[in-house]
Amino acid sequence: MSRAETSRRGSRPGRAGIRDVAAAAGVSITTVSDALNGKGRLPDATRRHVREVADRLGYRPSAAARTLRTGKSGLIGLTVTTYGDEPFTFTEFAYFAEMARAATSAALARGYALVILPATSRHDVWSNVALDGTVVIDPSDQDPVVSELVRQGLPVVSDGRPAGSLPVTAWVDNDHEAAVLGILDHLADAGARRIGLLTGTTTDTYTHLSTTAYLRWCERVGQDPVYEAYPAHDPCAGAVAADRLLARPDRPDAVYGLFDPNGTDLLAAARRYGLRVPDDLLLVCCSESTVYANTEPPITTLSLKPRRIGTAVVQLLIDAIEGVESDHPVEQVIPTELIVRTSSQRRSPRTTVSPPRSPGQA
Amino acid sequence: MSRAETSRRGSRPGRAGIRDVAAAAGVSITTVSDALNGKGRLPDATRRHVREVADRLGYRPSAAARTLRTGKSGLIGLTVTTYGDEPFTFTEFAYFAEMARAATSAALARGYALVILPATSRHDVWSNVALDGTVVIDPSDQDPVVSELVRQGLPVVSDGRPAGSLPVTAWVDNDHEAAVLGILDHLADAGARRIGLLTGTTTDTYTHLSTTAYLRWCERVGQDPVYEAYPAHDPCAGAVAADRLLARPDRPDAVYGLFDPNGTDLLAAARRYGLRVPDDLLLVCCSESTVYANTEPPITTLSLKPRRIGTAVVQLLIDAIEGVESDHPVEQVIPTELIVRTSSQRRSPRTTVSPPRSPGQA
DNA sequence: CGTGGGTGTCGTGGGCCCATCATAGGAATG
DNA sequence: CATTCCTATGATGGGCCCACGACACCCACG
């Protein structure tokens, strides 16, 4: 024992180990471990005493040793898709930030921390961190990262319905088709005759499902599709695409934009063409940003509820990690929320749909 | 050895350990370790063979064991301040997202991953993860997290000049005072007579330095300060404060807003009071968001260059971790960038400052 | 009244997780 | 026999946990 003491002193003068605490408290290593972890059956006096000594010595258990022994690291990977060199795209900023924030909080509340891992990370980096499980955002079909993780026996929960036969443990997503159909109906109700779509060229599930839903809706109501697609990760391309859409001979009288910056892009394009919103052009875009509450005019947005998604994803993952029989279903659909503002209300609000009021009221 | 083999088989059927690789390749454990890590002096044939076998078995070295042995985890903490329950504030979304993105990329390029750790994390969470060092965003004076980390001998680099005598290893910041003075001069040059400030009630360094710089500038040019402060973490309070500022009897004819959403808030308030921008009111705000390029009118913004900051912070931290004699100084000041748009140009651009052109040109 | 067995409470020893590294050892060659 | 090379052995890092051991106490039986 004294040998251990000595060798430890030599190795790391700054940090105290469990051995040092045991020696200082006059008990065994096991007793220290049990006292600090609330395990075993020890008299409260011993427990208190050990805790006191540990505090005095500034003892912090080595995370590495604990992880090695228990097989649990308390770390959850947050894998974000990458376009080009940078992790997560510009268009997803607000969504991603909100989602990550909620996920961080939820994980923290259950004693876990999040590790950011871009999908294009070098193998050696993310196989070099001990994860208990991983959250994957919008995994592509046959995502090599996911299959590798699953092969290692780690639970994987995805934000976004997994494409193809990706073997994720669970997933959470919005009902994107229903959301698009709801918006199109909303615009049609507001008087839109020809609804256009600003969409992306990428092949992710969100873009694909939304575009398909649009095309099917068009077919159902007998409208020719009017849409422009652009690479969503390029912040400049959006403005150009918005311009193209409004410059078409079959110019739409309402537009839904799938990505966050589309609102301002479309608004700017409309101004260039002298179109008044909402009189000449109805506008809706998918965004989590609150700037659209204060634009001129305020723009109707679709919120994907990233906070609920982030929370749900983490809960599912931790349930899987801890082997909790999921009281949650393994496939969760989070409802979207349409925040109706001026840009999508041609008729002055409530005038025609509400019951008549007394003339005195504004 | 056969006993070890057996016990391993029983323990974790899915994952192969270094023992299994050694057995399968018919060499010793050391040889496997050396072959995979490029150490020692081994014949290339052996090296290749070992690698091949390791690949075939899907061997991944245990991160926990390696961390325990080497004392390095390859993990960097990213500590974010919290307001209320949620990590990082709404007003810092774009800044934080950009900064975190750059930091993630920079860390990755050097083989490190980032762990998100809200400052209010329970002790047991962030002492439960093995960190090699930590990035702290805007640490408050006497931040307990920082002192604890430093006490453990871990390098800490802060984004934002540390308040008080916080013992950080290094820091990176903008020259906020110079930035504010530059903006005020810019507005004065554009014809502003009375410049107002939209600031925060929080005590962080950014808010403090900026406000002080404003007050000093006012004193120097002999203008009465006109400012409103609000709790920056409350997204609704900003709109109210903007309104208050423009409702004052000594209404300013130019305003600088310290926080991201102030641009739209001020624009909306200006419209309510029938003020034209930039004719009746000049506007600048500090923001990383590109929406201000497409507002009506486009708004001049100050960029704090979060990507450069995120990169610099991580480089400094990893230099410290790896004991590299910093070729970078330990205190870095990143220049800000004023992106001048219509909202701060009262006189039509270039007309009066450029040499006269021939009448035919637009 | 004395002692052996039963029952509990507290606490300890040593092995284990897995990879790394220093050093000792062995084989081949000059 | 000496010198290169390469490989094997064993210690190490630090905390957790299984399986016991030590000790006290109580009851019953001789």
pLDDT at A349: 46
Which DSSP category does B83 fall into? E
Which DSSP category does B329 fall into? -
Contact B105 A125 (CB under 8 A): no
- Distance (Å) from the alpha carbon of A103 to chain B's nearest alpha carbon: 10
pLDDT at A198: 97
- B44 CA – D3 C1', rounded, Å: 22
Extract the tokens encoding A37.
Answer: 């972890």
DSSP letters for B254-269 = EEEESSTTHHHHHHHH
Extract the tokens encoding A137.
Answer: 């955002």
Question: CA-CA distance, A51 to A59, in Å (whole number)?
Answer: 9
Q: Which residue has the tokens 């319905």?
A: A161
Comparing alpha-carbon positions, the chain A residue that sits nearest to B92 is A97
Side chain identity, residue B63? A
pLDDT at B21: 85
Least Cα distance to A299 among A336, A257, A334, A271 occurs for: A257
* A7, pLDDT greater than 50: no
Contact A101 B117 (CB under 8 A): no
Cβ neighbours of residue B151 closer than 8 Å, sequence gap 6 or more: A58
Higher local confidence (pLDDT), A40 or A287 = A287
What's the length of chain B? Answer: 362
Comparing alpha-carbon positions, the chain A residue that sits nearest to B59 is A152
- Distance (Å) from the alpha carbon of B76 to chain A's nearest alpha carbon: 9
CA B297 to the chain's CA centroid: 28
Closest nucleotide to residue A68 (Cα to C1')? C17
Cβ neighbours of residue B1 closer than 8 Å, sequence gap 6 or more: B23
Q: In terms of DSSP H, where are the helices of A91-224?
A: 93-109, 123-126, 144-151, 176-189, 205-221
* Omega before residue B329 within 30° of 0, cis: no
Higher local confidence (pLDDT), A139 or B329 = A139
* A235, pLDDT greater than 80: no
Under-50 pLDDT residues of chain B: 1-12, 349-362
Residues at the strand D interface (Cβ < 7 Å):
A 7-8, 11-12, 15, 17-19, 29-30, 33, 36-37, 39, 59-62, 65-66, 68-70; B 27-31, 34, 40-43, 46, 65, 68-69
Question: CA-CA distance, B346 to B40, in Å (whole number)?
Answer: 70
pLDDT band for position A232 (50/70/90)?
confident
Percentages of chain A per state (helix, strand, coil), in multiples of 5 = 45, 15, 40
Cβ neighbours of residue A322 closer than 8 Å, sequence gap 6 or more: none
Comparing alpha-carbon positions, the chain A residue that sits nearest to B84 is A105
pLDDT at A142: 74
pLDDT above 90: percentage of residues in chain A: 52
* A307, pLDDT greater than 90: yes
Nearest Cβ partner for B113 among A88, A116, A290:
A116
Closest nucleotide to residue A71 (Cα to C1')? C17
Residues of chain A found within 8 Å of residue B153, distances taken between Cβ atoms? 14-15
Strands B75-80 and B113-118: parallel
Nearest Cβ partner for B87 among A101, A129, A296:
A101
* A134, pLDDT greater than 80: yes
Question: CA-CA distance, B59 to B87, in Å (whole number)?
Answer: 37
pLDDT digits (tens, 9 = 90+) for A249-279: 999 999 999 999 899 999 999 999 999 999 9
Phi-psi region of A175 (alpha: psi -120 to 50; beta: other; left: phi over 0): beta
pLDDT at B350: 43
Comparing alpha-carbon positions, the chain A residue that sits nearest to B149 is A60
Phi-psi region of A99 (alpha: psi -120 to 50; beta: other; left: phi over 0): alpha
pLDDT band for position A171 (50/70/90)?
very high
Mean pLDDT of chain A: 85
pLDDT at A202: 83
**B87 backbone dihedrals φ, ψ, rounded to 5°:** -70, 150
| Angstrom distances, CA of residue A231 to CA of A218, A235, A340, B174 | 23, 9, 27, 33
**In terms of pTM, does the model score above 0.75?**
yes
* A190, pLDDT greater than 90: yes
* A122, pLDDT greater than 90: no
Q: Helix or strand or coil: residue A108?
A: helix
pLDDT at B327: 65
**B46 membership: H or E segment, kind and range:** helix B44-57
Q: Helix or strand or coil: residue A230?
A: strand
Question: CA-CA distance, B40 to A122, in Å (whole number)?
Answer: 24
Averaged pLDDT for residues A190-218: 93
pLDDT digits (tens, 9 = 90+) for A42-101: 888 888 888 888 888 888 889 999 999 999 999 999 988 766 566 555 556 788 888 998
pLDDT at A358: 46
pLDDT at A87: 58
Averaged pLDDT for residues A305-333: 89
**B39 Cβ nearer than 7 Å to chain C strand:** yes
Contact A60 B104 (CB under 8 A): no
* A354, pLDDT greater than 60: no
- A21 CA – D9 C1', rounded, Å: 32
- Distance (Å) from the alpha carbon of B15 to chain A's nearest alpha carbon: 7
* A30, pLDDT greater than 70: yes
pLDDT at B92: 64
Three-state SS letters, B182-251 = HHHHHHHHCCCCCEEEEEECCCCHHHHHHHHHHHHHHHHHCCCCEEEEECCCCHHHHHHHHHHHHHCCCC
The neighbour count for residue A212, using CB atoms within 10 Å, is 13
Contact A291 B290 (CB under 8 A): no
* Omega before residue A61 within 30° of 0, cis: no
pLDDT at B291: 84
